[in-house]
A and B are shown apart, each in its own frame.
Chain A
Amino acid sequence: MSQSIINEVKKASKKSLKARDNELASVNKQLNILNGGLFADGELPYFKDKISEIGHYPLKPKKLEILQINVGYMCNQVCEHCHVDAGPDRKEIMTRDTMEQCLEVIRNTGAHTLDLTGGAPEMNPNFRWFVEEAAKAGIKDFIVRSNLTIIRANKKYHDLPDFFKKHNVHVVSSMPHYTRGKTDKQRGDGVFDKSIKALQELNERGYGMPDSDLRLDLVYNPSGAYLPGDQAALEKDFKKALDEDFSIQFHNLFTITNLPISRFLDYLIASENYEDYMYALVDAYNPSAVANVMCTNTISVSWNGWLYDCDFNQMLDLKVASKVKHIKDYNEDVINDRNIIISQHCYGCTAGAGSSCQGTVA
């Protein structure tokens, strides 16, 4: 691929696929790619066939543990790999009415973890009200996925570390590498310095310190067409480098495999890495990861209240295969008695040590 095409893709990628009218903004187009090509030709096995071999088809949920709510696709960043296709131009934002419906569920759920994500969840105008109300429900682990730069993006967000601390929020933040070059390449110029500053501010509040209850975890996902390395080894390298260079502390590093959907799929195809990447995912298929993939203990709620098996299925608009499909009709027992919808992107969660929003699973 020529440098000029790469530059064109990079220039265009400052906007979401949706804003660019890119054909991959269509979920049908994405599903056609995932179900066709190498898989339709029989070169690679369908995910369904692989999990059938070990008796896991249809894939069924276990006990619900994590309620993951996506409060909107608006974000201050436009990361190249983003499976949400988030960005400043996305206007899908959860309304207060839908938040009320979520709160009703949060108060009654059997899940022990509430996981707020986006976009940048903090950009939802009702974010703080929602956190205050949700924190009252006394869920054991209350996660906010913060991209860090939002804390430095605008004065109105500068007090977020104090706000998180006040509500004992567990902060989970993306950090693709401990070097400036790799971080900025994936997430945009200046992201590294802003992220470092935000991490230092969180540390100052006690977040991420070795014996602190204020949990600060980092998320690593590869900046390109390759799978994440060993989670423990990467955590060790991140801890050493961030401590030595910036005196930054954090608790755990979660490695997450990039799934071949949305902007990452666009990148794979444009860079002619799609086939190799799918081979790598299928080669790395680990049957022992299947039983613990996150869709077996998570429900994902979209900005407009629809329910999905995971955040990836949400982006592919594959709503849960259940009579209950919307948060307003939520019924945990009914939802838990469903078959999980799968496609070839699911290989991303079963590769190597497995992958989930909480890191490895096998």
Chain B
Amino acid sequence: MKVLIVNNMAPFIWGGAEELAANLEKQLVLAGHEAEVLRIPFQWNPAAKIPSQMLMARSLKLWNVDHVIALKFPAYLIRHPRKTMWLVHQYRQAYDLRGTELSNIPVSAEGDALVSLIREADREAFGECRAVYSIAPPVAGRLKKFNGLESTVLLPPLNDPELFGGGPPDGYILAAGRINSGKRQHLLVEAMRFAAESVRLIVAGPPDSAEDGDRLKKLVELYGLSGRVTLDLGFLSRPEYAGYINRADAVAYVPFDEDSLGYVTMEAAGAGKPVITATDSGGVLGLVKHGETGWVCEPDAKALGRVLSEAAGAGSKTREFGANARSLWKSMDVTWPRTLEALLR
């Protein structure tokens, strides 16, 4: 089957949704389909130019395509008789972010008109789909709350699960993933001030900006943690990255209000490692159950320090939680074959 994945493009910016589209393309090809990604440019500022870009997506004509999988607004407005939605997100500034400082739509009669236009276009586009899937529970929740639409949550699977086979703990807690203020690795470095002397922390991953990396270096210096905190800041190859996960006692992942489980969480669970997260980490809580598969803790350095001490050293509790995390993850059966089967149904 010729499957076209339709996604947005913010010119010169590559993010999680682009990665998801590229992986979906790869998996479709491995499964014997022809697959391509169509990236439709979208520039959301100024908001007054959103309607013309919605019309643009709506006016494009597709042929020589058997099936469309659409991911984002406004790209998903494209017309095709056989379209399935795998919703990454709607235009949140017209929904849950409406009226907050994060929205670029003015609170005015004009703003109201734009919001109803977007919502009406969404209603029409979702109505055209064979099936509507969301990539995470909060996405499905918003769709239900604002559009009254039921959708099935279909979590994006890991692309290289075979790398995360686990292994003997090597005496450190790992903080992994992209490094930025929203992922709050700085909170974990600060927590080390309050953790037992024997606890070691490794922060490994690429900082989004030089400032994000410098912030961690300064904290390590400020609190004299250089003997106990290792910073491996930069791009890691997949085997290097997986090695860090497989050798950890536990993995700490405390992003603020993440939509989905988070790749780090899924990889850690796959490797049989318990996960430390925060009460406000959002989707991550779908896999991290306090006292079962890991620790859920207030997003506070002192509290996190206590949890780090408890998790470190790979005692029986840590190993038990790790095994539970792996079982819970396996029971979710989030795999590409199952995902493709749903998306092409």
Q: Do A and B bind each other?
A: no
Where the two chains meet, the residues of A that have a C-beta atom closer than 8 Å to any C-beta of B are: none
